């Protein structure tokens, strides 16, 4: 990754102080953080004078620190940094990385760093010690202003697939002790949107949130595993996937983390936007992550033909569809003909616990060789704990098979054992030029910056829920861009070609339908982002709709520029993204229709052909219209409830 225009300026150094207060501002002066060291260390945040986080304490209990509340003598250092980050892939070709930093340096190798960006605020602990550090607990508070609406992603335990609805509530409506995931989003009383998350997660567990008292949310963490056991999950697939089991923690240590003494702990990140749409351009989590330390020039994002969502259900073919050689060759032919870079071979290609016991109906070597002859690459699915049974040998096997990527699944945890495994997996796959699509796992923490071979991450309630649940609603679809996708790539797996109204929806394993129109499913490929995007439904269904197929063949997955045009959480969104010389605009609605007014003032001063893909006379129909427009064009579009619109400008 290249950085340019690096400038670091030492502003001033204070004397050793106790009971001091410090003010740290964003480069544009809009976001102000106050850090106070009195009875305990607290921080607070305001935007243009409006408080968005009230004084909240930070504390950590370890085997080394004698003062877990970060009080006592220290030196305060202020500095500023301005530079440009050039991502390998993502939603923009370059990101301004400008921030002001306050560092509190304590004796004996302990520091606390605070950063203020225009996009938000973050802090972390740094140690420079010669011995290992055991962390017994970390307590980071988030005191939410009265009147805020909180989209609380509640879970019942640390064992979770990280796939939930974000439901709006007031703080008093959330039960004390309720456990939630991060990212967590809330809307402040003055309208600012705030997302709580973390970044640069290494040698530490992932952060959860608990409602502890009054208007206080507090970080909580799974303890380090001491004993694990394979168990059947009490969720989702027990009827269809009776073999599936996951590693459940049965006993834990009395600490949450153990790390090298020379360590930077994860950033606690507070993303801030002055309106809902602005959060769609927020790159704070990515900027806080470590730069890559390896060559990733070989990474190629793209689209993927998926098999599992539609249950290998092909129509009108002269063979019996299923997990067999003919089905995958058909998928490869479809991908090659339509410019789709990858196919996915999902669960069922082998026995779950033994990669050597391949499905007898599937000649895997022949399929991979056939894909290579057609210029199509292969992702293959595996459970993390099967890989872990013989880690190096299994990764070497996949490399020798000449698959291009692994879709690794069923982590269902975020304790340090799992976090360490994910980071090790990313590094070892990178050494073998293997891409990774992580499923059943925690949210992105900027790891796609450190390891750009991680081209997508699930950690979201996605389209697959239509097979076994009614939770994948239009409202959900219009919430996740503002919270889950705001922290990094999101493998929602769009592309449903079967549609019904919510009142007529019935879950179906064999024949899943979405609650939205086909036009909304197309718009998802612009609004949602990730380094690989699935085409979830059956190739034979795409072949019946030339408008959908032509669009899906051409739409990129990586972008050179992103502009959030408008948006309101759980109601509507419009995003413009540029790839090369072509712009795409995606518009989506939830349960109410919306009139989108699209101002094309972001175009350069030339004529453009504008192609519009919109809803026809039914949920399943797309219509296409074209016209000529330009930089001064302002166009209005009436989009019905749970529908969408795609605009292509070239």
Question: Which residues have a catalytic role annotated?
Answer: 409, 464
Q: From 526, 443, 434, 544, select the one nearest 489 (Cα to Cα).
A: 443
**Element housing 51 (H / E):** strand 50-62
What b/e sequence results for 315-339 when a residue is b if at least 16 CB atoms lie within 10 Å of its CB, and e otherwise? Answer: eeeeeebbbbbbbbbbbbebbbebe
Q: How far apart are CA 587 and CA 641, in angstroms?
A: 12
Torsion, CA 237, CA 238, CA 241, CA 245, rounded to 10: 100
Terminal C-alpha separation, the chain:
29
Q: How far apart are CA 491 and CA 422, in angstroms?
A: 17
Contact, 612 vs 585, CB < 8 A?
no
Q: From 115, 126, 278, 132, select the one nearest 191 (Cα to Cα).
A: 278
Burial, 297: exposed, middle or buried (Cβ in 10 Å; 0-12, 13-18, 19+)? exposed
Asked if the bond preceding 183 is cis, omega within 30° of 0, the reply is yes
Contact, 183 vs 166, CB < 8 A?
no
Q: What sign does the dihedral 172-174-177-182 (CA atoms) show?
A: negative
Q: How far apart are CA 568 and CA 589, in angstroms?
A: 10
Q: What is the DSSP letter of 172?
A: G
Contact, 208 vs 219, CB < 8 A?
yes
**How many Å separate Cα 109 from the centre of its chain?**
34
Q: How many CA atoms within 13 Å lie on the side-chain side of 342?
A: 30
User: Residue ranges of the alpha helices (H) in 67-111?
Assistant: none
Q: Give 407's strand partners.
A: 381, 437
| Residue 601 in tokens | 């003032």
Q: How far apart are CA 519 and CA 643, in angstroms?
A: 6
| Residue 242 in tokens | 């009776």
Q: How far apart are CA 569 and CA 477, in angstroms?
A: 10
């Amino acid at each position: 990754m290249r950085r340019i225009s690096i400038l670091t300026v030492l502003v001033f150094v204070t004397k050793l102080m106790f009971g001091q207060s410090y003010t740290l501002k964003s480069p544009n002066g809009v976001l102000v953080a106050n850090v106070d060291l009195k009875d305990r260390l607290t921080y607070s945040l305001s935007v243009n004078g409006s408080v968005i986080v009230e004084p909240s304490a930070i504390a950590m209990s370890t085997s080394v620190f004698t003062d877990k509340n970060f009080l006592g003598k220290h030196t305060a250092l202020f500095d500023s940094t301005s530079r440009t980050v050039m991502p390998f892939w993502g939603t923009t070709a370059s990101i301004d990385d400008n921030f002001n930093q306050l560092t509190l340096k304590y004796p004996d190798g302990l520091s606390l760093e605070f950063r203020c960006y225009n996009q938000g605020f973050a802090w972390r602990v740094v140690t420079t010690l010669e011995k290992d550090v055991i962390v017994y607990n970390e307590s980071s508070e988030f005191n939410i202003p009265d009147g805020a609406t909180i989209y609380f992603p509640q879970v019942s335990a640390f064992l979770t697939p990280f796939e939930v609805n974000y439901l709006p509530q007031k703080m008093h409506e959330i039960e004390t002790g309720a456990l939630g995931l991060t990212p967590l989003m809330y809307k402040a009383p003055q309208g600012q949107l705030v997302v709580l998350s973390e970044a640069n997660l290494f040698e530490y567990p992932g952060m959860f949130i608990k409602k502890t008292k009054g208007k206080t949310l507090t970080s909580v963490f799974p303890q380090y595993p001491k004993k694990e056991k394979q168990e059947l999950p009490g969720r989702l697939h027990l009827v269809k996937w009776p073999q599936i089991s996951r590693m459940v923690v049965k006993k834990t240590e009395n600490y949450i983390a153990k790390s090298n003494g020379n360590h930077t702990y994860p950033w606690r990140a507070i993303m801030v936007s002055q309106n809902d749409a602005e959060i769609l351009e927020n790159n704070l989590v990515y900027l806080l992550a470590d730069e890559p330390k390896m060559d990733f020039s070989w990474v190629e994002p793209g689209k993927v033909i998926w098999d599992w969502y539609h249950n290998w259900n092909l129509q009108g073919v002269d063979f019996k569809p299923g997990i067999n050689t003919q089905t995958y060759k058909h998928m490869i032919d479809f991908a090659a003909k339509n410019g789709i870079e990858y196919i996915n071979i999902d669960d069922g290609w082998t026995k779950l616990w033994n990669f050597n016991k391949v499905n007898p109906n599937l000649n895997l070597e022949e399929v991979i060789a056939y894909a290579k002859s057609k210029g199509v690459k292969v992702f293959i699915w595996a459970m993390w704990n099967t890989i872990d049974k013989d880690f190096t040998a299994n990764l070497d096997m996949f490399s020798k098979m000449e698959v291009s990527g692994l879709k690794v699944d069923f982590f269902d945890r975020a304790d340090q054992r799992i976090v360490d495994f994910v980071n090790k997996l990313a590094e070892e796959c990178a050494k073998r030029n293997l891409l990774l699509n992580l499923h059943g796992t925690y949210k992105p923490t900027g790891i796609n910056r450190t390891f750009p071979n991680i081209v997508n991450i699930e950690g979201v309630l996605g389209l697959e829920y239509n097979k076994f649940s009614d939770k994948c609603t239009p409202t959900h679809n219009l919430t996740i861009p503002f919270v889950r996708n705001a922290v990094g790539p999101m493998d929602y797996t769009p592309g449903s070609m079967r549609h019904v109204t919510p009142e007529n929806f019935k879950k179906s394993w064999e024949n899943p339908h979405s609650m939205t129109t086909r036009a909304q499913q197309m718009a998802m490929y612009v609004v949602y982002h990730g380094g690989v995007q699935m085409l979830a439904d059956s190739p034979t269904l795409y072949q019946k709709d030339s408008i959908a197929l032509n669009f899906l063949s051409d739409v990129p997955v990586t972008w050179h520029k992103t502009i959030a045009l408008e948006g309101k959480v759980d109601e509507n969104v419009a995003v413009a993204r540029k790839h090369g010389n072509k712009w795409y605009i995606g518009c989506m609605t939830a349960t109410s229709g919306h009139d989108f007014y699209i101002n094309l003032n972001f175009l350069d001063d030339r004529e453009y052909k504008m192609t519009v893909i919109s809803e026809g006379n039914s949920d399943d129909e797309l219509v296409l219209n074209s016209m000529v427009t330009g930089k001064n064009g302002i166009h209005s579009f009436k989009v019905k409830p749970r529908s969408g619109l795609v605009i292509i400008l070239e």
